Structure 1
């Protein structure tokens, strides 16, 4: 079914949603919009005795466990055929398209089978790339560069013996990465009798034990936070060994393929960042005036935000309605809640959203796995199931993504209520999802969050600015029982609380980035904990807590290995874009149209959006400017 036919199906729903959005200011709690109602309602078990099982994500083969092998075998056959086709294809854009199709075939299986450890070693014995021909299209050239880079860092240029060694190291790294990721989110246990009884209610009970699966950072009780910190971060020797093996394997692989360290290998694939530039960025932030803890503490005392006072205004449905209204005004995009077919989702709690543009039609699907389950990783994340790409017949392969959160379930008396931090994180993750939906690139190898790492977090961090802007919050924050809007003074305090301890938060990110670089630099004859203690003393203002090992919970060491600095880079770029384009009017649709065309669809698009190539000083100044303490007048006016 093409997009024109799809629009004929979705247009009536979009019109109804438009009417609901326009009327949201005068509605009561009994008239939630369809998308809000879908997320505020409790899920009831459905008996589907007469419906056909369509398979996970609508893939028929995935209606049973055995179907995974069928999908894998089919992908392997297809990739072998594509390799042969590439070897006999004349140099040109068609070769790039074949490689992208090959990448798509592998990714569609790998993204669904994260636990499968298959590495395809492709030996190319023919000259398949001719720069003078491919140069005709910049997009094609970029994809060629990425493919060649991926091949080189995987050891394709080595002799047969060393290439086999590189493959073995990559297989081992996949195993170690999976083990570490699983370990990062496993809860720790402590006997009930070791803790004061009045704090038991804040944790999960397990017989005579208490399970602690996070830091409980939003808990108002400082004892709860202290216990969670010390228990959750308590060292585990087995996980320590896994991490050190992971870092050692990465170093061996980097040296095998010709790099000084894994950090040097990782930085080669970024936006022209070099080790010395990274050092300059972090050191400039470290010594910048104003980045000190006492100011943050003073702000915290005056602008303290009690989550329990705000959460009734941030029901999950209200927040999703706010996102839907924001996307409608900015992009002309609506979120339509759909009933999943039998077998399409892996849990009854998963909601399915169709993302529909007012003129372009259906853009893709978002599966929202938002609620806590015991067997679920305690990590909020976004991942791609199928990337978007241009097909040979002129149609566009619709992207499919999953958003995974760990929110509390709704109760009989109330929907899921979010703290301000949860609300902001929801906006952040939806920023990733919309990047995948709106960034309709020609090639799936560079679609959505598969862009250059330095840019991957910009769309999601930009959404955080919308989430903490009073003009945006005022549009959707409503009490789940009375429908009353969040009082203006509370809106003002919430928006400005973004700057509470902002300097400390920025310095923490600097510490994370430096820690990541040191771990992936030249090997050191000391434990990861000893290294962490030393770096924390040099680059972070708070002292190390004895018998804790923060690094064993830092899952980003796997996904961002040696590139966590990109979070600071992305935050700086998002800050520049916000101030240049949206600070005066966050609902400026023209700027968002330009943002989508220039930033979400093109490489190094930030340069076009900002109309300059930012220097290290520009990045530092952008980050520091977000900590501007001169906001007293706004607060006083709101209280008046």
Structure 2
């Protein structure tokens, strides 16, 4: 039975009126609006293991998979060291990287997303084992010399294609930042520091998400219902930034951000360890080491970018905060001082008041199925690509709510698979994210290793009477994460080391942020945003209001992201306090440690500016290439060939230059961000009148 027929079968007569009303949706739209009817018939269907890996039918399988990868590593290391310098050297290094990444990446996902603690623990052990092996390989002198022999032969290097040369240089960079040039004693120290960092990173990530507890008697009775309870304690696991009660927001802020001494020590040691490692391998700071190979390239460029942006936004940021103060004084005249816990709430109040933005008015137009249909339509228009729902095999997915999509090109055929883990469940990370499970690469037999990714969201499950309805923010997040997924799908790099999102951090966010621009363009929304019951399209005036509302307090919101600093001989809290006073505009609250809840310190250490720089590039690409016609196939193909196809196999600024036909400056980046905040009153008035 074909995938399309299986999906159409859920629309058979006898189902609730909801399903009869959506019968005009495409198969992918119907699949995501229907409740999952999968039956795990293990008696008649053999368990294929997670992601089709036969060993992963049970947690113990991770040990077998890890052992096999380590044995393959030994074989490939020997092959690399014995081969004559040439393209075979780079291919062998990439096979070595692929062998380890296929286990490490899968385990990295399972350890945070699998509902079974036994699977999570087994995956965590595997991550540590593979990570330790990677650090040892990065300080293996014989392995490094095999690559150096190639790089030193200019005639052979000149005969290689540009992607192969770049991948060879990237592998050598990994050796260099791991201290390959050091004495044996110092190499061992570098390995030990890297292994210690793996532990510290994990400790910090876990600790940053743990709630803080306080005795019930310490809080007024009338606000207890806002928080979860555990015996005589109240647990506060977030900032409750959208709460209408000022006291709830303040107490949540003070309690959730109250310093945890143990976690502070972990962070202090983590930062010192990073800096010590960077100094050991020859860098002035961890930031210098982390930024090599990015668009920015150096901390000096990042600081110039952030300072220029702050200077241009300072007056508008002050104006935004003044509007928030006035609104707070209006709603709560006895406590009118604007504090950090007020910013998200009152900026939202101002947007709603000025533009009548109420998420419940929009959600009926954004059923999950409609949004998936919209993405499918957009990708078909731009790239000739379709999303096709497939039934997973028994044991292939970790939850019955997971959907599997095949990504199919009209002439190239199957490009890869996307697993959609979209629905909320206990113990699942709340942060929307994208995981690479397997990277694409060219195989020796002429076939292509198909990429596999997972998109992790936390949406409400569909009800019997209605599909999952998304707020505008949820819809944009879906488009954002799908941008990452298509970056992985549409790349066709020869090497998995540079496949898809394996590229410079400040470039990796460009495709996902660009999708946010598509998500708020009325011509794109008109393709799919229609009421799940009546079929009525989302009025253009509502789209315009939604877009313009984002610019309200936009300067203050942007300023929230402008935090950057270098390691210093002071506590992280002291550094935070200084940076907040210099770059933000609202006062530091004593006895709080916001940095302990900032999990991006791990994945985006010294690179959090990447969101802003990527947004600037995405803005320029949107305005120059797609604003006139967002469904232009010719421009979509150009975007794929100039930016998406290369992954990390091409220097990031060269990809930007190829798309824009010019090389943007730091000033151009700042101008793009600032111009995005300018209200389009003329369009708004015309649409409102219409």
Structure 2 length normalisation: TM-score?
A: 0.84
Sort the Cα spacing of 1:240 and 1:373 in 2 relative to 1 into closer, same or farther, 3 A.
farther
Alignment CA distance shift 1:635-1:424 (3 Å): farther
Cα shift at 1:274: 2.1
Please say if residues 294 and 507 of structure 2, whose CA atoms lie closer than 8 Å, have aligned partners that are also in contact. no
CA distance in 2, matches of 1:91, 1:317: 52
Secondary structure, counterpart of 1:451 in structure 2: coil
Tell me the equivalent position of 2:128: 117
User: Corresponding residue for 1:620?
Assistant: 670
**Cα distance in 2, alignment partners of residues 472 and 80 from structure 1:** 51
Q: CA deviation at 1:489?
A: 2.1
Map 1:599-618 onto structure 2 (within 5 A): 599-602=643-646, 603=650, 604=652, 605-618=655-668
How far apart are residue 471 of structure 1 and its match?
Answer: 1.5
C-alpha distance in 2 between matches for 1:176 and 1:463: 34
Aligned residue runs from structure 1 range 399-548, under 5 A: 399-511=451-563, 514=564, 518=565, 521-525=566-570, 527-548=571-592
2:266 is the counterpart of 1:249: no
Cα offsets for 1:299-325 (capped at 9, x unmatched): 734125222222222222222121111
The one of 618, 622, 630 equivalent to 1:586 is 630
Per-residue deviation, residues 373-400 of structure 1 (Å, max 9, x unmatched): 2212222111111000111111110001
| SS of aligned partner of 1:629 | coil
C-alpha deviation, 1:263, in angstroms:
0.9
Larger mean Cα displacement after TM superposition, 448-457 or 284-293:
284-293
The answer to whether the 8 Å contact 2:80/2:146 transfers is: no
CA contact 1:305–1:493 (8 Å) conserved in 2: yes
Q: For 1:34 and 1:336, how far apart are their aligned partners in 2? A: 8
Residues 167 and 589 of structure 1, relative CA distance in 2, 3 Å threshold: same
Counterpart selection for 1:130 from 127, 132, 150: 150
* Contact 1:291 1:507 survives alignment (8 Å): no
Q: Among 20, 32, 56, which residue is 1:62 paired with? A: 56
Aligned-residue offset at 1:268: 1.9
1:409 & 1:295 partners in 2: Cα distance? 37
Rate the CA distance shift 1:324–1:635 in 2: closer, same or farther, 3 A. farther
Is the 2:8–2:27 contact (alpha carbons within 8 Å) kept by the matching residues of 1? Answer: no
Which whole-Å deviations, capped at 9, do the CAs of 1:393-446 have from their partners, x for residues lacking one? 111100011111122223333322222111111111111011001111111111
- Secondary structure at the counterpart of residue 284 of structure 2: coil
Query: What SS does structure 2 have at the residue aligned with 1:450?
Result: coil
Change (3 A) 1:303 1:442: same
- The 3 A distance-change label for structure 1 pair 424 and 230 is farther
Distance in 1 of aligned mates of 2:409 and 2:591: 52
Instruction: Summarize the alignment of residues 273-284 of structure 1 with structure 2, pairs less than 5 Å apart.
Output: 273-284=297-308
Q: What's 2:310 paired with?
A: 286
Deviations 1:614-633 (A, max 9, x none): 11111111111111124344
**Alpha-carbon separation, structure 1, partners of 2:458 and 2:419:** 14
Would you say 1:213 and 2:247 are equivalent positions? no
Moved more, 366-375 or 427-436: 366-375
Q: Deviations over 1:490-531 (max 9, x none)?
A: 1211122222221112212222xx1xxx2xx24322x21221
Q: For the residues of structure 2 that align with 1:306 and 1:35, how far apart are their CA atoms?
A: 28
Following superposition of structure 1 onto structure 2, how do residues 339-378 of structure 1 map, counting pairs within 5 Å? Answer: 339-378=391-430
For 1:333 and 1:187, the matched residues in 2 are separated by 43
Structure 1 position 295, deviation (Å): 4.8
**Aligned runs of 1:46-195 on 2, under 5 Å?**
46-48=39-41, 49-114=43-108, 115=124, 116-118=127-129, 119-120=132-133, 121-122=136-137, 123-125=140-142, 126-128=145-147, 129-131=149-151, 132=154, 133-136=156-159, 137-190=161-214
Cα contact 2:422–2:458 (8 A) shared by 1: yes
Question: CA shift at 1:283, angstroms?
Answer: 1.0
Question: SS state of the match for residue 130, structure 1?
Answer: helix
Give the alignment partner of residue 327 of structure 1, picking from 361, 379, 383. 379
CA pair 186-480 structure 1, distance change in 2 beyond 3 A: farther
Contact 2:418–2:453, Cα closer than 8 Å, also in 1: yes
2-side partners of 1:201 and 1:413: how far apart?
28
Q: CA deviation at 1:84?
A: 1.0
- Provide the secondary structure at the position in 1 that maps to 2:389: strand
Q: Distance in 2 between matches of 1:543 and 1:450?
A: 38
Per mean C-alpha deviation after superposition, the further-off stretch among 276-285 and 472-481 is 472-481
Q: Shift of the alpha carbon at 1:206? A: 4.6
- Whether contact under 8 Å (2:258, 2:592) holds in the other structure is yes
Tell whether the 8 Å contact from 2:545 to 2:684 is kept in structure 1 after alignment: no
Check the 8 A contact 1:355/1:366 in 2, yes or no.
yes
So what's the TM-score if we normalise by structure 1? 0.90
Q: Does 1:33 align with 2:44?
A: no
Secondary structure at the counterpart of residue 128 of structure 2? coil
1:276-312 alpha-carbon deviations (Å, 9 max, x no partner):
2222111111111564242584873412522222222
Q: Distance in 1 between matches of 2:625 and 2:225?
A: 46
Alignment partner of 2:585: what SS? coil
Could you give the per-residue CA deviations for residues 323-377 of structure 1, whole angstroms, max 9, x where no partner exists?
Answer: 1111121111111122211111112221111111111111111111122222122
Q: What's the offset of the Cα at 1:545? A: 3.3
- The residue aligned with 1:5 is none
Q: Does the 8 Å contact 2:210/2:237 carry over to 1?
A: yes
For the 8 Å contact 2:544–2:687, the answer to whether it is kept is: no
Question: Partners in 2 of 1:41 and 1:191 — Cα distance?
Answer: 43
Q: CA deviation at 1:207?
A: 5.3
The structure 2 residue matched to 1:338, chosen from 360, 375, 390, is: 390
Cα deviation for residue 240 of structure 1 reads: 1.7
1:231/1:336 Cα in 2 relative to 1: closer, same or farther (>3 Å)? farther
Taking structure 1 as reference, are residues 257 and 130 closer, same or farther at Cα in structure 2, changes over 3 Å only? same
CA distance in 2, matches of 1:523, 1:542: 23
1:223 is displaced (CA, Å) by: 5.7
Residue 437 (structure 2) pairs with residue 385 (structure 1)? yes
